[in-house]
């Protein structure tokens, strides 16, 4: 099998299972936190707070990037399809005129913020490398699909727009208005996952540094907030028309 076909095949397989990445990261974080020394941070609360805020801002910026991309997309573009590549229209304006894969960029920032919260530089580097290897193949497969689907239109756009790191050099304003309903309908699970991720790492840190599990009241409150977000918006999405929009995915 030619390398280009191997890359595309592997990319399509990884595309189907990309939703399992959070589970893998959660499992990887357990030994990482166990073998990380937190004495410096435990004895320096201001430093620990600054680093926590920094990590949270990274994750929040990822959610914002995803929100911008999803909130200005029509129903004819690719959505939360998991079995195969699907697209009836090509996004070339708005954030898609600055970067070809804003959703994957948003994913990286969202998850790397949680990874950074382990305070383990090697874990950050390893996850970043694995993320790139994983998504490079997904992006390759996706771009092969889009090139066959849209031909020269896709080639012309892709030649001007970087794949992963944004550039405003060729920015074109989109005519599609930002939809907060679309964000509430499609991104509530990501918000909850990020909240759970930070609580999980914090819980592991407390457990492994003290030698016994401590489930603080703050953890319970934060988890209730996160799970409530998912419950409310999932209910509105599946049982009402409050978040329904005619031309949105």
Output the domain CATH number for residue 153.
1.20.120.1630
| CA triple 192-193-198, angle to 5 deg | 100
Per-residue exposure over 114-129, b if at least 16 CB sit within 10 Å of its own CB, e if not: bbbbbbbeebbeebee
The reply to whether 242 falls in a domain is no
The reply to whether 234 falls in a domain is no
The reply to whether 188 falls in a domain is no
89 or 221, which is more confident? 221
Cα 124 to Cα 118, 176, 195, distances in angstroms: 8, 36, 19
How far is Cα 38 from Cα 120, in angstroms, rounded to an integer?
A: 10
The reply to whether 183 falls in a domain is no
List the domain range (segments joined by +) for residue 35. 3-177
Average pLDDT, stretch 21-33? 91
Q: Is the pLDDT of residue 22 over 90?
A: no
Threshold 0.75, pTM exceeds: yes
Residues with Cβ within 8 Å of 142's Cβ and at least 6 positions away in sequence, in order, are 11, 15, 78, 85, 101
Q: Is the pLDDT of residue 126 over 90?
A: yes
Residue 94: other Cβ atoms inside 10 A: 20
The reply to whether 73 falls in a domain is yes
**For 213, left (φ over 0), alpha (ψ -120 to 50), or beta?**
beta
How far is Cα 245 from Cα 233, in angstroms, rounded to an integer?
A: 15
Alpha helices by DSSP H, listed for the chain, are 3-16, 21-34, 39-42, 45-71, 102-116, 121-150, 152-160, 180-186, 188-210, 217-239
The reply to whether 202 falls in a domain is no
Structural domains counted in the chain: 1
How far is Cα 169 from Cα 104, in angstroms, rounded to an integer?
A: 20
Q: Is the pLDDT of residue 12 over 70?
A: yes
The reply to whether 37 falls in a domain is yes
- pLDDT tens digits, 60-85: 999 999 999 999 887 666 545 555 55
- For residue 95, report the phi and psi dihedrals to the nearest 5 degrees: -65, -25
How far is Cα 96 from Cα 186, in angstroms, rounded to an integer?
A: 19
The reply to whether 227 falls in a domain is no
């Amino acid at each position: 099998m030619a390398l280009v076909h191997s890359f595309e095949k592997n990319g399509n397989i990884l595309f189907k299972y990309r939703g399992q990445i959070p589970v893998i990261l959660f499992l990887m974080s357990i030994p990482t936190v166990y073998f990380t020394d937190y004495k410096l941070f435990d004895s320096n609360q201001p430093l620990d707070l600054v680093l926590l805020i920094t990590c949270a801002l990274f994750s929040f910026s990822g959610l914002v990037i995803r929100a911008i991309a999803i909130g200005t997309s029509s129903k004819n573009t690719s959505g939360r399809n998991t079995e195969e590549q699907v697209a009836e229209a090509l996004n070339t304006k708005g954030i898609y005129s600055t970067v070809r894969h804003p959703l994957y960029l948003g994913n990286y920032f969202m998850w790397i913020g949680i990874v950074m919260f382990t305070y383990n530089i090697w874990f950050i580097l390893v996850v970043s490398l694995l993320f790139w290897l994983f998504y490079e193949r997904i992006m390759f497969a996706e771009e092969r699909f889009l090139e066959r689907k849209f031909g020269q239109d896709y080639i012309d756009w892709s030649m001007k727009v970087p794949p992963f790191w944004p550039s405003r050099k060729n920015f074109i304003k989109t005519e599609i208005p930002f939809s907060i309903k679309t964000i509430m309908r499609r991104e509530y699970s990501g918000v909850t996952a990020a909240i759970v991720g930070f609580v999980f790492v914090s819980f592991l840190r407390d457990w492994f540094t003290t030698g016994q599990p401590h489930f603080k009241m703050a953890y319970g409150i934060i988890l209730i907030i996160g799970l409530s977000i998912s419950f409310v918006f999932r209910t509105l999405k599946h049982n009402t028309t409050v978040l329904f929009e005619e031309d949105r995915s």
